[in-house]
Amino acid sequence: MLATIGIGSVDELFPSVPAALKAKAALALPDGLGEREVLERMQALADANELLPSFQGAGAYRHFVPAAVSLVMSRSEFATSYTPYQPEVSQGTLQAAFEFQTYVARLTGMEVANASMYDGASAFAEALLMALRVHKNRPRLLVSAGIHPEYLEVARTYLEGYGRGQIVEIALAADGRTDLEALQAAIGSGSDVAAVAVGYPNFFGVIDDLAGAGALARKAGALCISVTTEALALALLRSPGECGADIAVAEGQSLGLPVSYGGPGLGMFATRTAHLRQMPGRLVGQTVDEEGRRGYVLTLSTREQHIRREKATSNICTNQGLAALCVTVYMSLTGRRGLRELAIENTQAAHRVAERLTREAGLALALSAPFFNEFTIEVPDCEAAFDRAVAGGVIPGVKVARLLPGRPEHKNRLLVTVTEMTRASDVDLLIDRLRSRAAA
């Protein structure tokens, strides 16, 4: 190879790198390891993480992943393929993405969906940016305080310095739903409101009045955005589209992906056809080849950064393709009946645990509005009770104050999540560990 190039050694390959920049010393890193040693090191790191029975959700959910999902994920033809820029040799990825878009549109009750975003939080931020594009002269974005705090923080990060858009937080009523009177007051005449966004179900597990918020948004001529962290809920609840949402975003991790310390999951993003040209992200469309056979291609890319550059609808390029495939396989397996039945099983299980916590552990639900598979309880001296439960072998939930520090109303609130993975013995342990103190 060196002779073909016309040089004598690999060191001569870098004539364009100025001598002053060339590394004088080797990288100060250890030498490489063999595969067995690497996997031993990785196993040791993994073993340094404890897998306790857990009632944590709050945006990352433990659900059963069927073996068939894992099988398809491990197909290296999917896992190691590139973005499908050459459609003739990428029909697998393209068709799966087309099926994904169809599933997401149907699950959310919308007309079109993209091929995925990074996660629910950045999808929410992109939805707000899209609302500002649809309504160029309307700066205000009214967002419910029930939206996941990390999603709100990501939205603020995206909007900071963007030059347009002003986020106004709408408080929750005592029952945990968005205070529609406060929302109406904030809307005012409404002519400067680009969007109203509501968590559905919201961060506290509450099934918010999306239709109510949507009606107020519509009256003001603003877009309504629904924001979902637990996508399984959408298999049972009235769809965002049916409730009047114009954009539905969701985190899709719960549909077939492990929690994996919070990533990768994926953002789902759906809207109405009227807003198609303002959508961010990749889209796959159906077309034909020269012989008229059905096939799929990346399409409407004139919205995207590689064509429009600084005028693109988003800077997104790589998305979460393999995670979207995972969701696609999961929805195919569970199908029309299985997904809904699973959602029912989840909500039943969560309601049973809530009932036992109130009856047997003497704890009170913090919010009275209906919930899906997670709910908020008041735990006296929550911080200490949490630590004791962990010491006692169960992670009892997510301390709301961890995400919303400095708000007195949340000081003793614990967000408890129950899924089909929750075992009876876990519930007994939870009751036992939380009861010991509540009674004292």
Smallest gap from residue 202 Cβ to other proteins (A): 14
Smallest gap from residue 287 Cβ to other proteins (A): 4
**Cβ-based nearer residue to other proteins, 132 or 363:** 132
- List the x/- string, 130-169, binding to other proteins by CB under 8 A: ------------------x-xx-xx-xxx-xxxx------
Residues 91-120 touching other proteins, rule: CB under 8 A, are 91-93, 95-99, 101-103, 105-107, 109, 111-113, 115-116, 118-120
CA-nearest of 121, 63, 112 to 327 is: 63
Which of 246, 304, 374, 426 touches other proteins by CB under 8 A?
304
**Cβ-based nearer residue to other proteins, 287 or 425:** 287
**Cβ-based nearer residue to other proteins, 191 or 302:** 302
Smallest gap from residue 189 Cβ to other proteins (A): 28
Residue pointed to by tokens 């029909």? 91
Our finding on whether 318 is near other proteins (CB under 8 A) is yes
* Cβ pair 65, 73 in contact under 8 A: no
Residues 331-390 touching other proteins, rule: CB under 8 A, are 331-342, 344-345, 347-348, 351, 370, 372, 390
Smallest gap from residue 270 Cβ to other proteins (A): 10
* Cβ pair 327, 396 in contact under 8 A: no
Burial (Cβ within 10 Å: 0-12, 13-18, ≥19) of residue 254: buried
Our finding on whether 35 is near other proteins (CB under 8 A) is yes
Our finding on whether 199 is near other proteins (CB under 8 A) is no
Which of 8, 15, 406, 408 touches other proteins by CB under 8 A?
15
CA-nearest of 337, 344, 338, 411 to 372 is: 344
Helices 424-438 & 382-391 angle (0-180, nearest 10): 130
Of 21-29, 136-144, 189-197, 376-384, the segment contacting other proteins by CB under 8 A is: 21-29
Residue 111 tokens read as 């007309």
Of 30-38, 136-144, 166-174, 184-192, the segment contacting other proteins by CB under 8 A is: 30-38
Smallest gap from residue 401 Cβ to other proteins (A): 12
Identity of the residue numbered 272:
R
Smallest gap from residue 2 Cβ to other proteins (A): 8
**Cβ-based nearer residue to other proteins, 47 or 439:** 47
Our finding on whether 305 is near other proteins (CB under 8 A) is yes
End-to-end CA distance of the chain: 78
* Cβ pair 134, 194 in contact under 8 A: yes
Our finding on whether 38 is near other proteins (CB under 8 A) is yes
Of 55-63, 166-174, 358-366, 406-414, the segment contacting other proteins by CB under 8 A is: 55-63
Neighbouring residues of 174: CB distance < 8 A, sequence distance ≥ 6: 367, 368
Q: How far apart are CA 191 and CA 180, in angstroms?
A: 18
Residue pointed to by tokens 């060196």? 2
Q: How far apart are CA 169 and CA 118, in angstroms?
A: 24
Our finding on whether 78 is near other proteins (CB under 8 A) is yes
Tell me the CA distances in angstroms from 353 to 54, 55, 204, 356, 412, one per residue in order. 13, 11, 16, 5, 19
Residue 253 tokens read as 């991790």
**Cβ-based nearer residue to other proteins, 220 or 322:** 322
Which of 181, 221, 308, 384 touches other proteins by CB under 8 A?
308
Smallest gap from residue 153 Cβ to other proteins (A): 5
Burial (Cβ within 10 Å: 0-12, 13-18, ≥19) of residue 423: exposed
Which of 136, 137, 189, 309 touches other proteins by CB under 8 A?
309
Q: How far apart are CA 105 and CA 124, in angstroms?
A: 16
Smallest gap from residue 92 Cβ to other proteins (A): 4
* Cβ pair 204, 415 in contact under 8 A: yes
Our finding on whether 290 is near other proteins (CB under 8 A) is yes
Residue 155 tokens read as 């939205």
Reported as type and span, the H/E element at residue 325 is helix 321-360
